[in-house]
Copies of this chain bind each other. A is one copy, B any other.
Amino acid sequence: MANDQPPRPSRRGFLKAGGAAVAAGASLGAGLAPQAALAKAPAHLADPQLAVEPFYGLHQAGIVTPQQSHTYVAALDLTTDKRDEVIALLRTWTEAAARLTQGGTAAALPTGDAGDSKPAPDSGDVLGLGPNGLTITFGFGPGLFTKDGKDRYGLAARRPAALVDLPRFNGDQLIPEKTGGDIYIQACANDQQVAFHAVRQLTRLAYGTAAMRWGQSGFLSGPRGQTPRNLMGFKDGTNNPSTAKPELMKEFVWAGATADAPWMEGGTYTVVRRIRITIEHWDNMELGFQEQVFGRHKYSGAPIGRQNEFDAVDLKEEDKDGNPVIPENSHVRLSNQASNDGAQILRRSYSYNDGTNFYIERWPPWRQETEYDAGLIFVAHQSDPRKGFIPINDRLAKFDMMNQFTTHVGSAIFAVPPGAKPGSYIGAGLFET
């Protein structure tokens, strides 16, 4: 980094104050401000590294929060058979997450010789960095409720019907060690190391109770004020329901108080898919064909035949020969609300880039070669996946022209409970009501 810029307020302050500043910082996040209101507030300060997002609230942060530039998403498997240990873990995590999101360390750092003789409670690799708008979001996978037919924690009867096991979709090529998980942790921040740091500390706090199943780093490079482009070069997220409209969030994103899972009120259901993109192949496609695949123009983001990104998608429009202007098998048509009985989901995806691997090519001329291991960490939040991701992806998996260039290699679904009140913990409603 440059050496000619002034220092700035930092996590270092918390070190010097021996943790006292953390308590003060945490109060920034106290209270039960609805996330909908947060979404309307200025999302990033002038300096995104100094941005702070509240941790406590009616909803968990990181769902309707304006998307930060980086993420680290992870799923852990519970290794304990004791309900109390799961509760203790959620309490520990809640407190640590409140500290971390407000710019603190996972726990107060010991000082002097006393600290030398034991592992530090924080890896220290983001000391000096700002809070960077960090949000930490927790979710519960099917395995928390029943696993291998066993009701490990007395929660089987409380599993929401909406937390379905995802069906196998056409073309799925799921890798077990990138799929599933009992607990979801999603850390998003305006800095890559800050996002990873959060999951790293939380995972360490789970030692002996839960173990990492998969973790993945992601990023999003968007021009400010514009819809970001994914690695295919197209704008991604244009047609998302607006987080500024609480009525849309209520209908499509937030779970209601269903009879089977009243504890999920104010939560959401999150689907994560690791989608590898055959970038080399895609880059050699004609521009016009790429646009037919998406159903949008590449540079403007406008629906085909239109000028502006936010022009309405008219699925009924035909050209002079009577053919649809937006192709039948285009991504935009198949995923559109009008093609899916009005269903909408809130996508909050990130690109991933894990360098290269040596692969056997899956398209002619079937060469063996080094290829990019890159693509999309698709993340979608919804009030009920049975009306959201599942029917939409079922249609896409069968018909989307884009499937020539994408492979779903990881998959998971989680019930993301509502936010916590200060003094309580994430998931308290599940265990204690």
A362 sits at the interface (CB 8 A): no
A-B contact pairs, 6 of them (CB 8 A): A1-B69, A8-B224, A119-B284, A123-B282, A212-B371, A354-B373
A395 sits at the interface (CB 8 A): no
B125, B211, B354, B369: the one contacting A231 at CB < 8 Å is: B125
Q: How many copies does the complex hold?
A: 2
* B residues less than 8 Å from A391 (CB atoms): none
A215 sits at the interface (CB 8 A): yes
Closest 9 CB pairs of A and B: A116-B288, A128-B223, A193-B221, A124-B233, A1-B222, A2-B43, A5-B224, A125-B233, A216-B355
A115 sits at the interface (CB 8 A): yes
Complex formed: what's the CA distance from A115 to B216 in Å?
36
Complex formed: what's the CA distance from A284 to B203 in Å?
12
* B residues less than 8 Å from A173 (CB atoms): none
Complex formed: what's the CA distance from A117 to B168 in Å?
36
- A2-B225, A232-B125 in contact; A215/B351 too (CB < 8 A)? no
A191 sits at the interface (CB 8 A): yes
Q: Interface centre among A15, A230, A279, by most B CB within 10 Å? A: A279
Beta-carbon contact of A224 and B2 below 8 Å:
yes
Beta-carbon contact of A177 and B370 below 8 Å:
yes
Report A181-198 residues with CB < 8 Å from chain B CB. 191-194, 196
- A116-B287, A299-B15 in contact; A3/B66 too (CB < 8 A)? yes
Beta-carbon contact of A286 and B66 below 8 Å:
no
* B residues less than 8 Å from A282 (CB atoms): 123
- A1-B225, A226-B7 in contact; A216/B356 too (CB < 8 A)? yes
